[in-house]
Amino acid sequence: MKKGIDWKKYKIDYFYDELISAAGNPRVAGRQLVNHLASLSAEELENRRQTAEATIRQMGISFTVYTEEGNIDRAWPFDIIPRTISATQWQVTADGLKQRLKALNLFINDLYHDQNIIKDGVLPAHILKQSKNFRPECVGVTPPYGVWAHICGTDLVRDEDGKFYVLEDNLRVPSGVSYMLENRAITKRVLPELFEHDYILPVGDYTAQLFATLSSLSPRKIKQPEIVVLTPGIYNSAYFEHAYLAQQMGVELVEGSDLVVAKDDCVYMRTISGLERVDVIYRRIDDLFLDPEVFNKDSVLGVPGLMRAWQKGNVALANAPGAGVADDKVVYAYVPDIIRYYLKQEPIIPNVKTYLCDDPKQREYVLANLDKLVVKPANESGGYGMMVGPHATKTEHAKFARLIKANPRNYIAQPTLKLSTAPTLVGSGSLEPRHLDLRPFILQSRELYVTTGGLTRVAMKKGSLVVNSSQGGGSKDTWIVDR
């Protein structure tokens, strides 16, 4: 029988590889995995890959891609070779993520109250003035514990030095955690023998932690507050996740038409037994569609009067409206200073070097080096609207030069990183390095919690740096290994 993976043939070039060192040896956290994969035949590896695909179909794990031809529902793209990280390194990373979210929540609360960070000259006033996600309707509101972003998905990358860097913070309606949990469920079916020992740290407590976080926000101090997940509906790209999290927490999945704000400015859910008061809404709808009385008057996704109920403290919203003011790639560049300002600490996890196009000198540099840089709009997500300079055409360079000149506040640029790689199954028993990132999830209310690892997204195309599933990327299970 033909043996499976021959690790001597695995070439990592000059990038940092998550599993194999530059000397060709498995990293400590991945030794057990490397040895086990080497013992499997090519046929067995292929059988396990097919098992993963069958499991994905059976479990109905999917995501939606928006195209000009219409919405396409696709099976979740998954690679069976896990990514491994040592528990020792992860503890430092988790501390850095907690530090970051704590500072960002202090920052958001300050912006909606005294704006001391602007008065003290740490954040330029025009950054806030031109923010697309600052909501004047939130000024003066203080949510429970002063926390606005209760759920955050922070994107991490490793450069060639093997060190984690923060690429961006997702504080509005972060998604992907259900896929992190399902990746683990799939991997347990595909590689069950590796879970017979306890050195792979679990991730399954996330939904219990999310439920506890949401419960702590309830305006009514009762044992069982009524929590709902508010979804835009079945045609949303993340609907699978909305339904999954509601089911796992044992709470109701609702649409805007299922809720009503009564004369007492409280929110109620329509049930067959009549109206039932709602205490906490985990909303998966963007700010501007939450309440047609306040924001988009044509929205049929939200609930009329919802902002009024929230402002009066009669219902909790997670994440709070207005939290997106910190989910801005221009604000991102100031996060190290934000941490120093509010916490009097040095950032544990550094930012990727960032050029602000609204600064004349930095803009001049960006325009002269578009072929070397990644250019991103300030408030897009999912990989949309960005340009990877080295992979772009001269026509695209010229287009982005015009966009930057027309609206410099809306663009940042970063060096083209040599993103770390990990072995990815590309054929029968054949592995090649593919670039990846990592999205851990952080929860904050009374306490802070970080997932044990996160959602690893991988660029399935050779040489590609775009990991988003909407742009052709896939995913892996992430193992935090305690040994």
In this prediction, residue 10 carries a pLDDT of 84
Q: In the chain, what's the furthest Cα-to-Cα distance?
A: 73
Range with lowest mean pLDDT among 67-81, 151-165, 210-224? 67-81
Q: Which CATH class is domain 355-415?
A: alpha beta
DSSP string covering 429-458, please? Answer: TEEEEEEEEEE-EEEESSSEEE-SS-EEEE
* Cα–Cα distance, 30 to 369 (Å, whole number): 38
pLDDT band at 382 (very low <50, low <70, confident <90, very high): low
Cβ distance 281 to 242 under 8 Å? no
Exposed (0-12), middle (13-18) or buried (19+): which is 140, by Cβ within 10 Å? exposed
DSSP string covering 172-193, please? Answer: SS---HHHHHHHHHHHHHHSGG
* Cα–Cα distance, 392 to 371 (Å, whole number): 7
- Mean pLDDT, the chain, whole residue set: 92
CA 193 to chain CA centroid, Å, is 30
In this prediction, residue 256 carries a pLDDT of 97
* Cα–Cα distance, 423 to 446 (Å, whole number): 39
pLDDT band at 394 (very low <50, low <70, confident <90, very high): very high
* Cα–Cα distance, 271 to 117 (Å, whole number): 46
Phi-psi sector, 467: left (phi>0), alpha (psi -120 to 50), beta: alpha
Quick one: angle between helices 177-190 and 42-59, nearest 10? Answer: 140
Segment 437-459 shows an average pLDDT of: 96
pLDDT tens for 141-194 read 999 999 999 999 999 999 888 899 999 999 999 999 999 999 999 999 999 999
Range with lowest mean pLDDT among 32-41, 244-253, 277-286? 32-41
Strands (DSSP E) contained in 76-149 are: 83-86
pTM assigned to the model: 0.93
* Cα–Cα distance, 240 to 58 (Å, whole number): 14
In this prediction, residue 373 carries a pLDDT of 95
Range with lowest mean pLDDT among 315-319, 424-428, 431-435? 424-428
pLDDT band at 60 (very low <50, low <70, confident <90, very high): confident
Cβ distance 133 to 318 under 8 Å? no
- Residue 71 pLDDT > 60, yes or no? no
Q: Where are the domains of the chain?
A: 355-415
Both tokens of residue 168? 């961006």
pLDDT band at 100 (very low <50, low <70, confident <90, very high): very high
In this prediction, residue 1 carries a pLDDT of 43
Range with lowest mean pLDDT among 2-11, 241-250, 469-478? 2-11
Segment 229-257 shows an average pLDDT of: 95
